[in-house]
Chains A and B, each alone.
Chain A
Amino acid sequence: MKKKQYSTLSKVLTLLFALLCLVWIMPIVEVAINSFKTNASINTNAFALPNAETFTRLENYIKGLTFGNYPFVKAFGYSLFITVVSVALILLFTSMTAWYIARVNSRFSKIFYYLCLFSMIVPFQMVMFTLTFTADAIGSGLTIGGIHPLPLNTPFGIPIVYLGFGAGMAIFMFVGFIKGLPLEIEEATAIDGCGPIKTFFMVVLPMLTPTLISVGILETMWVWNDYLLPYLVLDRTKYMTIPILVQYLKGSYGSVDLGATMAVIMLSIIPIIIVYIFCQKYIIKGVAAGAVKG
């Protein structure tokens, strides 16, 4: 008797959650539907399904790809480049720094570590104006032999800014993990005559894999979706990332061509959903692990 009751409750719960999940994805489904409709039809009834008259096939998408005089592919490319390079830089350099901080008990290590903790509670608004000045001053002001060696205000230099502003959290997480690793392994490699660089890359880095995954996921989610930092730092007439392009389109074309804007939004969501479907196990694990440390 008891067993039967339990299973009905479980069935009701399952049904309830299935419905709730449908509601949850509704906003995205709405955008998907509207991206195939004519402007007039989106305007009069955004919730209606497209019919023979209002269905536009891929017209909105074709328009969306070159919408606003800025090709979507270009924004996508910049977003991808900035994200991949920034996250790679952050993972490589902060894990090295964290190993130094965890293993070398100097005053410098301590000060740097506390500065990192401090930087985690400083909101971006506190430094956004001055960071823009600094990036411009170094990016355009510093010239050696006619070229700018550190173009911080372009997509090619902005990963340096991300490494600087994002170092705090990454170092904090890596130090926490490294302090839990047994010192004996590194001592053994030192006795065997292995230098610190080799030790780090051949012994320590492989042991850091779980933390590398969670830091990598958290930083990717941040950099890929970040709007304000690239908006302020980059020259917007030349370089746009996807969030900048979407905001720009909304401001200047959103009311003019809803259909094409919906298509651009879909184009920006689809890659994320594809990555999510394949890596959801790692993403969810990474977030849970990251939060427990924080």
Chain B
Amino acid sequence: MNSILVRRPIQRCFPLFILPTFLCFIIGFVWPFIQGIYLSFCNFNTPRDAEWVALENYIKTFQDASFIHAFWNTAGFAIISIVLINVCAFAIAYALTQKMHGANLFRTVFFMPNLIGGVVLGYIWSMIFDAILKRYGTYLTANATYGFWGLVILVAWQQIGYMMIIYIAGIQSISEDMIEAAKIDGASGWQTLTRVIVPNVMSSITICTFLTLTNSFKLFDQNLALTGGAPSVIMSGAKVNMTELLALNIYSTYNISKNYHGVAQAKAVIFFLLVAVLAIAQQWFTRSKEVQQ
């Protein structure tokens, strides 16, 4: 890695190879991140009129019923989606890697919803759900339960195809010999699946649970377009949007009025810490279960 012959000339091109990306990285990430942490301790409309208030924004966040509600909503949503998406995606991937006609066509169809943006997807599904619920004399945003499960269906429909692709790649990388050997040893189909295939695709499971976990926590577009948080109720003096997830809650807090900009930024910092801790913990947990080869 440390060949001077290659390294020296590249180092001389520092301004070309590193500077443009690094400057953009500062503008697009590093500076907004640092400023974001600072502003979470301030009352502000724009960064120019920021006024230090210490922990006030954080205290307000933890007293905010809408944030607490959004947190539990997100946690429930994440658990349901992780299980639903991964089980379905693995089952479909397993079926499609067996000898079957048209497996490629099916794979293409299942993957397609991923290419469509979250806002468009949300709108398509709100039309479908409203059309179905109309037969029962109701509509999607009438009841938080409809909105919640509607979002679960939408996101499962979108992401099963993506995770399926990753599982297919994992299953196809298991050597034929190993499965052949299991069959010769008299393993049943179920035993082959649970004792040979699943342990050998643990790395795919790690990736897919990681992606579904972070995707569900960061979900925004679909949430905004499907219900936008509706319906809302008044809970201990504050307006709570019943189908709102955390990312949308941060956004709508910011839009209440300029007095809430600091609170929204404090929520964003808490949200970041939550996503980071979950992502690292999950990686650490499933990596320890992977088969070493």
B165 interface residue, CB < 8 Å from A?
A: yes
A104 interface residue, CB < 8 Å from B?
A: yes
Complex Cα gap A13–B101 (Å): 9
Q: Establish whether residues A243 and B7, one from each chain, have CB atoms under 8 Å apart when the complex forms.
A: no
Complex Cα gap A122–B217 (Å): 12
Q: Establish whether residues B247 and A13, one from each chain, have CB atoms under 8 Å apart when the complex forms.
A: no
Q: A103-B6, A104-B10, A250-B225 are in contact. Are A242 and B166 (CB under 8 A)?
A: no
Bits for B210-249, please: 1 = Cβ < 8 Å to A, else 0: 0100100110110011000000000000000000000100
**Residues from 190 to 210 in B contacting A, C-beta threshold 8 Å:** 203, 207
Q: A126-B33, A129-B254, A167-B21 are in contact. Are A243 and B117 (CB under 8 A)?
A: yes
A76 interface residue, CB < 8 Å from B?
A: no
Complex Cα gap A97–B28 (Å): 16
A138 interface residue, CB < 8 Å from B?
A: yes
**Closest residue on chain A to residue B23 by CB atoms:** A164
Q: Establish whether residues A100 and B17, one from each chain, have CB atoms under 8 Å apart when the complex forms.
A: yes
Stretch at the interface among B51-59, B60-68, B104-112: B104-112
Q: In the assembled complex, how far is the CB of residue A157 from the closest CB belonging to chain B, in whole angstroms?
A: 10
Q: A10-B98, A288-B166 are in contact. Are A134 and B117 (CB under 8 A)?
A: no
**Residues from 184 to 211 in A contacting B, C-beta threshold 8 Å:** 186-187, 190-191, 195-197, 199-200
Secondary structure of the A contact surface, majority rule: helix
A247 partner residues in chain B, CB cutoff 8 A:
119, 224-225
A282 interface residue, CB < 8 Å from B?
A: no
Q: Output the residue of B14, B32, B111, B268 with the most chain A CB within 10 A.
A: B32
Complex Cα gap A115–B271 (Å): 19
B116 interface residue, CB < 8 Å from A?
A: yes
Secondary structure of the B contact surface, majority rule: helix
Q: In the assembled complex, how far is the CB of residue B49 from the closest CB belonging to chain A, in whole angstroms?
A: 12
A243 partner residues in chain B, CB cutoff 8 A:
117-120, 221
Bits for A100-138, please: 1 = Cβ < 8 Å to B, else 0: 101111101000100110010111111111110110001
B136 interface residue, CB < 8 Å from A?
A: no
Q: Establish whether residues B9 and A196, one from each chain, have CB atoms under 8 Å apart when the complex forms.
A: yes
B83 interface residue, CB < 8 Å from A?
A: no
A291 interface residue, CB < 8 Å from B?
A: yes
A1 partner residues in chain B, CB cutoff 8 A:
none
A164 partner residues in chain B, CB cutoff 8 A:
24-29
A47 interface residue, CB < 8 Å from B?
A: yes
B10 partner residues in chain A, CB cutoff 8 A:
99-100, 103-104, 196
Q: Establish whether residues B109 and A24, one from each chain, have CB atoms under 8 Å apart when the complex forms.
A: yes
| A residues adjacent to B (C-beta < 8 A) | 6, 10, 13-14, 17-18, 20-21, 24-25, 27-28, 30-31, 34, 45-47, 93-94, 96-97, 99-100, 102-106, 108, 112, 115-116, 119, 121-131, 133-134, 138, 152, 160-168, 171, 179, 183, 186-187, 190-191, 195-197, 199-200, 221, 224-228, 242-243, 246-247, 250, 254, 258, 261-262, 265, 268-269, 272-273, 276, 280, 283-284, 287-288, 291-292, 294
Offer 8 A-B interface pairs, CB within 8 angstroms, sorted by A: A14-B100, A30-B127, A100-B18, A123-B217, A125-B268, A130-B32, A190-B6, A291-B211
